[in-house]
Structure formats: C-alpha cells, structure tokens
Amino acid sequence: MLVSQFEGAKGMNRLLSKCVIWMLAAWVPVSALFALPDSVRLTLPPYVYAVCGTSTALYFDNLVLSQTPESLRFTVVCDVKGTHEARRFSLTPAAGDAGEHPLTITVRDGNGIELGKASTILRVAPADAGAGKALKLLIVGDSLTGASLYPTEIHRLMGSPGNPILTMLGTSGAAKAPIAHEGYGGWTWRSFLSQVVEKPGATYRERTSPFLFVELGKTNLDLDRYFNQTLGGARPELVTFLLGINDCFGLGTKTGDPAAVDVGIDSVLSNADRLVGAFRAALPGATLGIGLTTPPNSREGAFVTNYKGAYHRWEWKLVQHRLVEKLIAKYGGREGEKLTLIPTELFIDPIDGYPVDNAVHPNNAGYRQIGTSFWCWMKWVLR
C-alpha cells in the first residue's frame, strides 16, 4: 500500500492507496469546544462526491480547526488515484472509478504525532449520469446564491454532453434567463420562514419571503401555493439549501462561551428543520440537499478590510467549523429520507477561491468550485 503525506509546502507527491476504514467524524462535546486554541477537530461528512473525468480537490485547511494548517501533515488513504499538492488532495476519477470508495484522512503534527482521523465515502458518479433526463432544480440560499455565480456554473455543467435537461426554478436569478433561484443577500433560514415586507419597490434584501403568503392579517408558509401559483405548477425533483453565514456570524463574539455558541447554532438548526420539513411535506418524492456552510477567506486581512478589527477570521472559523459539526450530527445518515449533506465547505480553495478583500464571499473561481460541488452531488443522485 502506498501512502503520500502532505508536509507544509514541500511540493507534490503522488498517491495511489486503498482505504480500509469507514467511520463518521468524531463528535465533540460542548465541554471540549474551543478548549484548545489549536485543537484540530478533523471533520468529514458521511459522503463526498465526484464525477468521472472531472477534476476536483479537497482542501486540507477546510478539514480542520487550526490557525496553522501549514504545519500539519495529512495522510489520505483511498483506492481512487489522486495527487497530494501543497494545500490539497486533488483527483480526477477515471471511468472505471464510478461507485463508492472509502476514504480516510489522518492528521499529524510536525513530529508525526497523530492528532485526528476521520473517514468518509467518496461517491463517484458516471460522467453520463442522468443524461437526457428532464430535471427541475430549486436552489435556496443567501448572498452566495444571490450572486448567481454558482447557479450559473451548475447550469453550465449541466449543459455539457451526458447531462440532464435542466430547468432552474425560482423568482430571482441572473439578469438573463435561464438562471433562476431563491437566493437573497443577508437572508437566513429564519428569513424564509418569517420575513414579510409590505413595501412597494422593496429591494431583494427587503422583499417578503417567496414562500410566505399574507391573507386577512395572517402569514402562512405555503409551499404548495408557491409551486402552484408562483411557479405555475412546476415542482422540483431536487432542492438545495446553502445558508448559515448570516444566521451564525454574530456568534463569533461569543466564542469565549462555548455553551452560548451551541445554543445559538441549535436555534438556527431549529429554523432549518422547519423549512426543510415544510419542503419535505410539500415534495415527498424530491431529494433535498443541504450544503455545508462554506469556510472563511484564509486571510485575516480580508476581515480587517471588512470589519476594521472588530471581527476576526479565527472567531468566524471557530463558529463555522462548529456549525458544520452540528449539521453533520443532525442531518448526516438520513439518505433514506432523501435528505443528504453536500460537502460544499470542503472543495473551495480558502486562498485562491477568495478575493483579498472579502471575508466570506468567494471570487469567480471559488463560486465555480461551489457549483461543481453541487453538480457532483446531483450527478450521483441522478445516476
């Protein structure tokens, strides 16, 4: 068995190895949360996704809670051929790799002492999965969705040979059809459940949730009416959600009180449950995918530019990592309910996927990586 290791920025090694272990990432009790300032807390979702013939990469910094990821050594064990680079493990599955492959990652310090191990299943979809099928997709999210860039990448990928015939649903989107979604800057899980703005000419940020209808002074969450009235009867086979930044960003000021952070995240997940539950009731046959909240820009300078020293990268990294852990604990292993997690947080480059001056919003390359993460998951669902 061949095993390659990542050691800081010491170049690239080749990996061809076989996984032998499958286990979910360890759950961390609240008493241990933030107990060590550099505790790595290696975290993986139950499944990660790829497509035969498409290049993708898993970024080591996004796996761990560490202020110095460059000092860590990572070992990836998988029977799908990949390449270790300075900050990531990249792979382009071959046609024969379609299927499920155990993948295990071990992290060690510079002295070789093991700090953590976690396992997942790499699900590789055939390049022609879903070819020619009619597919209706609804994307729900905040400003990352509202920018329309990762939805545009999904549409571009779906437009290549061997893909479904995609129809994107929603009342918002890019200036030109056919890019559509329900994505709005500043919105939270709660916004979609409760935001009502009766104001002519309201901006995208101020508008009433598309899923709410007000009659006789009463506000109703009515997804059947949304599909029948707003979308003209169209119902999606796939629904994705990418939320959490606006819900939890303020919790970064509470990282000295781990219990308060957990209480805040649990409140957010209660709202997520309500919205996801409403979609499940309205669309019993659809597959729902929850994107794991994306990591911050690796540069503290981006936070200085945006928040002038009032809020720091490490504060948000602590909260974002904890949110991912709790999302995995709550929604992992529910594929039997047609409810799955999408590892959107793992496959975005925290350096080259972000501009130098924005703390949480990617650049074009980063948005494309998010779009590819969603597309790989969709291809697996459609296989």
The span from the CA of 148 to the CA of 237, in Å, is 20
Please enumerate in sequence order all residues whose Cβ is within 8 A of that of 258, keeping only pairs 6 or more positions apart, or say none.
30, 31, 33, 34
In Å, what is the CA distance from 292 to each residue of 166, 301, 320, 345? 23, 24, 9, 6
pTM above threshold 0.85: yes
The span from the CA of 319 to the CA of 22, in Å, is 27
Is residue 101 within 8 A of residue 93, CB to CB? The reply is no
The span from the CA of 314 to the CA of 296, in Å, is 9
The span from the CA of 128 to the CA of 140, in Å, is 26
Q: SS3 string of 254-300?
A: HCCCHHHHHHHHHHHHHHHHHHHHHHHHHCCCCEEEEECCCCCCCCH
| CB contact burial 218-229 (16+ within 10 A = b; e otherwise) | eeebbbeebbee
User: Residue type for 340, please?
Assistant: T
Place of tokens 């609804």: 138
In Å, what is the CA distance from 310 to each residue of 247, 258, 314, 340? 18, 20, 12, 36
Residue 343 preceded by cis peptide, ω within 30? no
In Å, what is the CA distance from 371 to each residue of 47, 273, 348? 17, 24, 10
Do 5-125 and 134-382 show the same overall fold?
A: no
What CATH number was assigned to the domain covering residues 5-125? 2.60.40.10
The span from the CA of 155 to the CA of 44, in Å, is 27
- What does the radius of gyration of the chain's CA atoms come to, in whole angstroms? 20
Query: To which CATH superfamily is domain 134-382 assigned?
Result: SGNH hydrolase (3.40.50.1110)
Domain boundaries, the chain: 5-125, 134-382
pLDDT at 199: 74
Q: SS3 string of 56-102?
A: EEEEHHHHCCCCCHHHCEEEEEECCCEEECCCEEEECCCHHHCEEEE
Which pairs with CB-CB distance under 8 Å and at least 24 residues apart come from 211-219? 211/182, 211/278, 219/194
pLDDT at 216: 86
SS3 assignment, position 338: coil
User: Residue type for 192, please?
Assistant: F
Place of tokens 């690239």: 12
pLDDT at 176: 65
The span from the CA of 33 to the CA of 95, in Å, is 42
pLDDT at 110: 92
pLDDT in tens, the chain (383 residues): 333 333 333 333 333 333 322 233 333 444 344 444 447 999 999 999 999 999 999 999 999 999 999 999 999 999 999 999 989 999 999 999 999 999 999 999 999 999 999 999 999 999 999 999 999 999 999 999 999 999 999 999 999 999 999 999 999 987 667 999 999 999 999 999 999 997 777 776 789 999 999 988 899 999 999 999 999 999 999 999 999 999 999 999 999 999 999 999 999 999 999 999 999 999 999 999 999 999 999 999 999 999 999 999 999 999 999 999 999 999 999 999 999 999 999 999 999 999 999 999 999 999 999 999 999 999 999 99
pLDDT at 180: 96
